[in-house]
A and B are shown apart, each in its own frame.
Chain A
Amino acid sequence: MCRASRPAGRCLGCALLIVATASALQAQTPTTFIVDSPTMATGEMMPRDYSPDGRNVSPPLTWRGLPAGTRQLAVICQDHGAGNPPPWVHWIIYNIPGSASGLPEGIPFDSSDPMPAGLAGAAQGNNGWGLSMYRGPAPPGESLHHYHFAVFALDTELDLPPGLTRAELFEAIEGHVIGQGDMTPHYRRHPATDDRTP
């Protein structure tokens, strides 16, 4: 803060510095956009079909309000309450065209199966098990874990190879993230009383 006794020029310099710092921070902070899902919501339980208690297929995601200039997107699903060190990565998918408005349920786990329409070029990275596919939550016992789906809007079209780790993806998109949206549903394994077995 500038004191009244200080020269006016010094106060002006101080103000300019604050403005410049704020602008720089703004440039480094991605625009926030909305990430949603027709079947999940932040703070709510994920359906069991997105876990090994069910079909273990990837959940559908939608997004809107992407920043202008979005050319491509990347998605990570991670559990900050697991892993050594955390987070445990459940899913990575990138090279998603900027024209996509979301991901449908059930992205193929077999790389020989084609990606859904509108996702040409999308590739999956290695999760915590070292597999390039979605594998859903299976928290130990009856503990409740939170699953952070982070969607990154990029200002460029990268042609990244399949199988990148989280760290490799972050390195590849460094300097290109112009927006980020998130949702964080949670999951607890269903007890035996919920067994589907006839």
Chain B
Amino acid sequence: MADESPGRPRISRRDLLKTAGAAGAAALIPGAAAAEEASVAGTTAAALPPATVAPSGPLMNLTAREAEILSAMVDRLIPSDDMGPGALEAGALRFIDRMLSEAEADSVSAYRSGLAALDHYSRYSRGAPFVELSGRDKDSVLIDVQLGGATGAGAGFQGSSGSFFNMVKSHTWQGTFGDPSYGGNVNFIGWDILGYPGVRMRVSAEDQRLMEAGQLPPARRSAYEYGQFQMSGEED
């Protein structure tokens, strides 16, 4: 088989996320602030609590059924695997639910109709509710949704199914890899997936050496724990 041929190493979805996400996450570090605050340099991973499942709580916007479908979708976008936890454990579902009454309040109807359409399409094309499909079949359904194949002819989506997919994917990414202050990336799970060493205000030569060797302990701090950053609406 081609994937087992010498010289053709397999690249996992997690590897791709690391490659694609490291640059984006690194952009969180403001270059102008690099000379300030060195207090995190001594933080070690060993002193931090192990990654755990995101805490549960009441859903603020989604119904239980909607959350069940969205949970199954988010779990396929960034699944947990033998290398570690995924988007669900990082709290992406709760992040999205909370966000729907805040910055993305206008997206509530898109989520309601989209999740219903996703389930309808799953029954229509695969003969079973989305949450009951195997992982492979869920992936196949989501590929069709992403490519627009779930649109029209009674398939379920009245508008572009690809738009719905991209919306959920974008929010899942935000809830997994964004700053924990926004409610996702619980226990810095997302940053660990990417291998992102964390927000640092100063990087010493030794830090640089350790980072290049993949041995730099992550600085598990939100950017907003540094004095010079403020969330919107928290101005002095």
| Interface residue ranges, A against B (CB under 8 Å) | 51-57, 95, 109-115, 119-123, 129, 131, 133, 135-136, 138, 140-142, 159, 161-162, 189-198
Complex CA–CA separation, A189 to B143 (angstroms): 18
Q: How close is B228's CB to chain A, nearest CB, in angstroms? A: 41
Q: Could you tell me which residues of chain B, from 117 to 166, have a CB within 8 Å of some CB in chain A? A: 120, 123-127, 136-137, 139-140, 143-144, 147-150, 152-155
Q: Are A194 and B154 CB-contacts (below 8 A) given A95-B2, A114-B1, A120-B1?
A: yes
Complex CA–CA separation, A116 to B43 (angstroms): 50
Complex CA–CA separation, A121 to B147 (angstroms): 28
| Chain B neighbourhood of A113, CB < 8 A | 136
B10 to A111, Cβ gap below 8 A? yes
B8 to A161, Cβ gap below 8 A? yes
| A190 in complex: contacting residue of B8, B120, B154, CB < 8 Å | B154
Complex CA–CA separation, A195 to B122 (angstroms): 11
Q: List 7 A-B contacts (CB under 8 A).
A: A52-B125, A52-B150, A110-B139, A121-B2, A135-B144, A191-B153, A196-B125
| Chain A neighbourhood of B136, CB < 8 A | 110, 113
A135-B149, A193-B154 provided; 6 other pairs, C-beta below 8 A? A52-B147, A109-B140, A122-B2, A131-B143, A189-B155, A196-B125
| Chain A neighbourhood of B127, CB < 8 A | 196
A189 to B5, Cβ gap below 8 A? no
Chain A: CB-nearest residue to B120: A197
Q: How close is B141's CB to chain A, nearest CB, in angstroms? A: 8
The 10 closest A-B pairs by CB, nearest first: A192-B154, A52-B149, A123-B2, A189-B153, A52-B144, A138-B149, A115-B1, A195-B154, A197-B123, A196-B124
Q: How close is B138's CB to chain A, nearest CB, in angstroms? A: 12
| Chain A neighbourhood of B126, CB < 8 A | 54-55
| B125 in complex: contacting residue of A55, A133, A162, CB < 8 Å | A55
B106 within 8 A of A: no
Q: How many residues of chain B have a CB within 8 Å of chain A?
A: 27
B3 within 8 A of A: yes
| Chain B neighbourhood of A140, CB < 8 A | 152
Complex CA–CA separation, A54 to B136 (angstroms): 14
Complex CA–CA separation, A136 to B147 (angstroms): 11
| Chain A neighbourhood of B147, CB < 8 A | 52, 129, 131, 135
Q: Could you tell me which residues of chain B, from 28 to 52, have a CB within 8 Å of some CB in chain A? A: none
Chain B: CB-nearest residue to A53: B125
| Chain B neighbourhood of A52, CB < 8 A | 125, 144, 147, 149-150, 155
| Chain B neighbourhood of A138, CB < 8 A | 148-149
Chain A: CB-nearest residue to B10: A112
Q: Are A56 and B153 CB-contacts (below 8 A) given A111-B3, A196-B123?
A: no
Chain A: CB-nearest residue to B126: A55
Q: How close is B52's CB to chain A, nearest CB, in angstroms? A: 28
| Chain B neighbourhood of A133, CB < 8 A | 143
Chain B: CB-nearest residue to A114: B1
B1 to A122, Cβ gap below 8 A? yes
Complex CA–CA separation, A39 to B125 (angstroms): 18
Q: How close is B15's CB to chain A, nearest CB, in angstroms? A: 12
A162 to B123, Cβ gap below 8 A? no
Q: How close is B3's CB to chain A, nearest CB, in angstroms? A: 5
Complex CA–CA separation, A112 to B136 (angstroms): 11
A189 to B152, Cβ gap below 8 A? yes
Q: How close is B142's CB to chain A, nearest CB, in angstroms? A: 11
